[in-house]
Structure 1
C-alpha cells in the first residue's frame, strides 16, 4: 500500500470512484504535490483500506479510482485507554499525538483536583482540534483506526462509569506493585483491555488515589524516579505495549 494514507468517510470509501474532501484534496495538490497516476491509501476507520490511483488533481477536488478492499493493518492486539489529566495545550496535544503513535485506542481526558485546566464545558472546538491531531498522527504512523477521544470528565465521574476496562493509576507513592508485572498478570487472563490513569503536575491527591482504589483501580509504580506527567504517560504506554508483544519480542529480565 502507498505511504500516503488518508481516513475518509465510510460512504465515500465504499465508492469505486473516490472524490476526496476539500481539505485532503488541498493536501494532495498543494502539500504533497501528487500527480495523476500516483497511488494513495484510503481507510474507512472501520478496519478497511484500499489503494486509490489518482486521476484528476485540483486544489479544490481530487478524484481517483479505488482498488480492492483489504483489512487495515496497524492496530495493536491490546485495547489501551489512556486517561491523562488535563494540562497545558502543547503538552496535552503532544500526549495525544505520541499516544496515538504508540497504539492508544481511547483517550479520556480527566479533570482532577490539581489539573491545570479546570473547565467543565465548552469542549466542542477543543475536541475538533484534538480529533484532527490524532487523525493526522494515525495516518502518519500507519494505524488502521483513529483513536476515540471522550469529552473530558471529572475523576469521580470516570470512576462512576459502569463499564471501564481493567484500570491502573500511576501513583508515585506506590512502592510494591510495578506496572509491567501487573499488566503481565492481567494479560495472562486473556483480557486485552487496559486503562491507564495519569495524574497532573503534582500528582493525584491521596484522597483521589483512595477513591480510585475503592473503584477497583490498582495503584502502580513506574520506578524510583519522579517523572513528568507526559513522560509518565508515554512510559506507561510503552510498558503496556512491550508486555503485550506489540513493540517487538519481549522476555522477562531476571534480577540478581
Structure 2
C-alpha cells in the first residue's frame, strides 16, 4: 500500500525534485524507514494529490521526485461548520479525529457560560497536527479547518449558512428537506451541562433551530460526533 504524506507546498510539474515536509520527513525516515525507489502518495490539504518517488534519504531529509502532476479530488458541495465548547485533553483529541474522518469542513472552539477557558494557540497547533494525521489515515485530502476561539455570540451572529442547528435535549429531529436544500449547515454543541436557557435563546434568535441527539445524556465529544454525523448525512 502506498504511504500517504502531507506536503503543503506540493509541486505542480511532473519530474520536479523536492524535499518532503520536515515533520513528515522525520516520520518517513525514522518510523516508516522509507528508502530510494519507494512511492509515496502526497496530499496538500487543499484537495490535490500526487505520487512521488523517493530518490535520496539521509538523517535529516527525504528527497523525492514528482511522478505525475497533481490531480484535484472531489469536495462536498455543501459544507458543515461546527461551533463546539471543547472538552479537555485526550477527549478533545479523539473528537477532532472523528470529526475529521466524518468530513466536517470547519470547527470553531466556542466559549459559553459553563465551558472551560479558551484553548491556547499551542493546544490548537497540536490539534491541527491531529487533523493532518487523521487525514493521512482516513484518505481525506482536504484539511478540516480549526479556527481560533470565539464566544457563542460571535459564532452565532456570524453564521451565514441557511440551515443552523443548536444541540438541545428539548430539540427535535432535523428537517431533512430543509437541510438537503441548504448551501451549508452550521451546528452548535455546548459544554458539559449544556447551554443555558439564555444561550439557547440567543442562538434561536440568530436562526438556529434546536436539534435532538437522542434520549441519553452525552459527553461533549459524543454529542459533537453525533451532531456532525447528522449534518454530514443531511448534505
1:90 corresponds to which residue? 90
Check 1:111–1:57 CA distance in 2 against 1; reply closer, same or farther (3 A cut).
same
CA distance in structure 2 between the partners assigned to 1:13 and 1:123 by the alignment: 33
Which residue is equivalent to 1:136?
133
Residue 81 (structure 1) shift = 1.1
Deviation at 1:104, TM superposition (A): 0.9
The structure-2 alpha-carbon separation of the partners of 1:126 and 1:231, relative to structure 1 and needing over 3 Å to count, comes to same
1:163 is displaced (CA, Å) by: 3.6
**How many angstroms does 1:66 deviate by?**
0.5
Shift of 1:172: 0.6
Deviation string 1:113-137 (CA, Å, 9 cap, x unpaired) is 111x224xx8321221111111111
User: Residue in 1 aligned with 2:40?
Assistant: 40
How much does 1:55 deviate? 0.9
> Contact conserved, 2:12 with 2:70, CA < 8 A, in 1?
no
Contact 2:164/2:209 (<8 A) preserved: yes
1:239 to partner: Cα distance: 2.1
The question of 1:236 aligning with 2:231 is answered no
The Cα offsets for residues 226-245 of structure 1, whole Å up to 9 and x where unpaired, read as 2222111111222223333x
Aligned to 1:7: 6
Residue 187 of structure 1 corresponds to which residue in structure 2? 179
By how many angstroms is 1:18 displaced? 2.3
- Note the C-alpha offset of 1:143: 0.7
Q: Deviations over 1:188-218 (max 9, x none)?
A: 32x2411111111101111100000001111
Q: Does structure 2 conserve the Cα–Cα contact (< 8 Å) formed by 1:170 and 1:197?
A: yes
2-side partners of 1:158 and 1:241: how far apart? 20
Distance change (3 Å), C-alpha of 1:130 and 1:235 = same
Aligned residue number for residue 118 of structure 1: 117
* 2:167 is aligned with 1:167: no
Counterparts of 1:220 and 1:38 in 2: how far apart (Å)?
A: 48
Q: How big is the alpha-carbon RMSD for the aligned residues of Structure 1 and Structure 2?
A: 2.0
Unaligned runs of 5+ in 2: none
What is the aligned partner in structure 2 of residue 251 from structure 1?
none
Match of 1:20 in 2: 20
Per the alignment, in what secondary structure is the counterpart of residue 170 of structure 2?
Answer: coil
Q: What TM-score do the two structures reach when normalised by structure 2?
A: 0.91
Distance 1:8 1:213 in 2: 41
Q: In structure 2, what is the Cα distance between the partners aligned to 1:165 and 1:52? A: 41
Give 1:40 deviation, angstroms: 0.6
Structure 1 171/151 Cα, relative in aligned 2: closer, same or farther at 3 Å? Answer: same
What does 1:27-66 correspond to in 2, within 5 Å? 27-66=27-66
**How far does residue 77 in structure 1 lie from its aligned partner after superposition?**
4.2
SS at structure 2 position matched to 1:158: helix
Residue 149 of structure 2 corresponds to: 152
* TM-score (normalizing by structure 1): 0.84
| Residue ranges of structure 1 left out of the alignment (5+ in a row) | 245-256
